Amino acid sequence: MRSGEHFSPPGERRLEATYGPHLEALCQRSARALTACGYTALLLHSGSRLPVFEDDQTYPFRAHAPFKVWVPLTDAPDSFLWFEPGATARLIVHRCADYWHKPAQLPQDYWVRHFDVRTVADHEGARRELPADLSRAAYIGDAFAELARWGVGALNPPDLMRWLDFPRAVKSPYELDCLREASRLGARGHRAAERAFAAGASEFGIELAFLEGCGQREQELPYNPIIALNAGGAVLHYQVLEKQPPRERHSLLIDAGAQFQGYASDITRTYSAGDADFALLVGRMDQMQQTLCAGVRAGVDWRDVHLRAHRLLAELLREADITRCSAEEAMASAVTSVFLPHGIGHLLGLEVHDVAGFMRSPQGGDIPRPEGHPNLRLTRVLEEGFVVTLEPGLYFIPQLLDAARADVRRARCINWPRVEALSKFGGIRIEDDLAVTRDGRENLTRDAFLETA
């Protein structure tokens, strides 16, 4: 699919058609990983409900990604998956009688027929569903109390986890279907949030509109939405949701995504409340982001994308009269990092910041970040099937500006009255999710916004 073409939500028939090959490929690569690391079987844990200190409540449950890549079962704590090459994988679902909480639903979806499904009431019941000898099996998951008596060969062995994590960067057609739907749900939420902002809602009210728009509870989202009005946009992971609208409304930065079958979207947009100058700056950033998106294709070193973003930002800063030095000087003196301190993007999938972003190979070795750019989360060469976020930003962050002001070389590059005038807007971030294709890229986010227009 090329950017701009519409897509439909994946029906169960389509998901069933793409899930089977996904599982087959997963079995093959897991078998290779086990052989390479000297194990004969794999036991995966979905995760546990973690208790709050000195309380009878638990934190919201998050299923482990190594478990979710096999089964889209996101609300079944203390479940297990047993994989032994050559045999049908066994899914052990924790489901006990409980009048305090509703037990996990017994799965009946398109993927269930591929598994030998068992239900158990506790850990001991799960152990009875496994082979007696687990000494050559590797376990990945939480180390609960009874596990010490199970006799597993290894607990979260780093070499095996690396072999399993590395290929997750390349998404199967099934995973791409799930990511497209996550983008569509996220775009629906963003449309609703934009309308709420235009109507004068508070940060909290905008979040409520986002949740209703994408039809998900906050704990179902891949991450807590970042919804920042005005100067709050200068805080990269702004976590406050003010319940009262500010007296003056200047801008909105919203970084929020949705989830489908365990797969995430990660979308950011910035809006002006009416200031024409800031709206023009947002438009320039959007054009810059689209220029960067156009350069995404298989064979491109992501570090080069990041460095190109700084080059384009240096030119934009000069054109917008935010800096008064050349683009070369802005890059050489790290002035661009004052306004863009984070990486240009990251892998996306079962986790928002998906694994294996630095790995050179499953056998070992990491690819270093460019010097002077410690916050980049991806350094690999792009391959067909990678899904990445691309998110340039331009922020007015007091801590970084104060440090630049104290540095003579950087201080003379910055137009301080212009920066002071723009600081009330906080910052700008534009983020799309891109699937790397054979000939270029599929912009999951832009397609989703077109589909939800």
Residue 292's closest CA among 441, 411, 132, 92? 441
Burial grade of 226 (CB within 10 A; 0-12, 13-18, 19 or more) = buried
Query: Which residues neighbour 282 within 8 Å (Cβ) at sequence distance 6 or greater?
Result: 270, 271, 272, 428, 430
83 and 44 in contact (C-beta within 8 Å)?
yes
129 and 155 in contact (C-beta within 8 Å)?
no
Query: Which residues neighbour 135 within 8 Å (Cβ) at sequence distance 6 or greater?
Result: 151, 152, 153
Instruction: From 91, 124, 156, give the residue that closes a domain.
Output: 156
- What pLDDT shows up at residue 2? 37
- Asked whether residue 15 is assigned to any structural domain, the reply reads no
Average pLDDT over residues 91-96: 94
Question: In terms of domains, do 122 and 182 share one?
Answer: no
Is residue 136 over pLDDT 70? yes
- Asked whether residue 118 is assigned to any structural domain, the reply reads yes
Instruction: Round to whole Å and give the CA distance between 177 and 158.
Output: 30
Question: In terms of domains, do 139 and 245 share one?
Answer: no
Question: In terms of domains, do 58 and 127 share one?
Answer: yes
- What pLDDT shows up at residue 104? 76
Distance, C-alpha 390 to centroid of its chain: 11
Is residue 1 over pLDDT 60? no
Question: In terms of domains, do 194 and 118 share one?
Answer: no
Residue 256 in tokens: 């929020």
- Asked whether residue 426 is assigned to any structural domain, the reply reads yes
CATH number for the domain including 428?
A: 3.90.230.10
Average pLDDT over residues 392-397: 98
Query: Which residues neighbour 81 within 8 Å (Cβ) at sequence distance 6 or greater?
Result: 42, 43, 44, 46, 67, 70, 71, 89, 90, 91, 92, 115
Query: Which residues neighbour 424 within 8 Å (Cβ) at sequence distance 6 or greater?
Result: 230, 231, 250
pLDDT tens for 417-437 read 999 999 999 999 999 999 999
DSSP annotation of 220 reads: G
Is residue 12 over pLDDT 90? no
**Average confidence score pLDDT of the chain:** 96
Question: In terms of domains, do 331 and 401 share one?
Answer: yes
- What pLDDT shows up at residue 11? 76
452 and 8 in contact (C-beta within 8 Å)?
no
**Cα-only R_g, the chain:** 24
Average pLDDT over residues 106-113: 90
Instruction: Round to whole Å and give the CA distance between 64 and 435.
Output: 23
User: Sign of the C-alpha dihedral, residues 153, 154, 159, 165?
Assistant: positive
Instruction: From 130, 156, 182, give the residue that closes a domain.
Output: 156
CATH number for the domain including 122?
A: 3.40.350.10
- Asked whether residue 183 is assigned to any structural domain, the reply reads yes
pLDDT tens for 376-393 read 999 999 999 999 999 999
Number of domain units in the chain: 2
Q: What's the domain range around 97?
A: 40-156
- Asked whether residue 293 is assigned to any structural domain, the reply reads yes
Question: In terms of domains, do 148 and 224 share one?
Answer: no
- 3 state DSSP class of 51: strand
Question: In terms of domains, do 109 and 145 share one?
Answer: yes
- Asked whether residue 18 is assigned to any structural domain, the reply reads no
Question: In terms of domains, do 199 and 136 share one?
Answer: no
Model confidence at 159, in pLDDT bands (50, 70, 90)? very high
- Asked whether residue 138 is assigned to any structural domain, the reply reads yes
Question: In terms of domains, do 142 and 181 share one?
Answer: no
Question: In terms of domains, do 203 and 131 share one?
Answer: no
Residue 210's closest CA among 276, 265, 275? 265
- What pLDDT shows up at residue 9? 59
Instruction: From 156, 181, 212, give the residue that closes a domain.
Output: 156
Average pLDDT over residues 125-151: 97
- Asked whether residue 128 is assigned to any structural domain, the reply reads yes
Percent of the chain scoring above 70 in pLDDT: 98
pLDDT tens for 298-308 read 999 999 999 99
Model confidence at 102, in pLDDT bands (50, 70, 90)? confident
Question: In terms of domains, do 117 and 228 share one?
Answer: no
232 and 255 in contact (C-beta within 8 Å)?
no
Residues β-bridged to residue 433: 389
- What pLDDT shows up at residue 151? 98
- What pLDDT shows up at residue 3? 37
Question: In terms of domains, do 354 and 250 share one?
Answer: yes
Is residue 98 over pLDDT 90? no
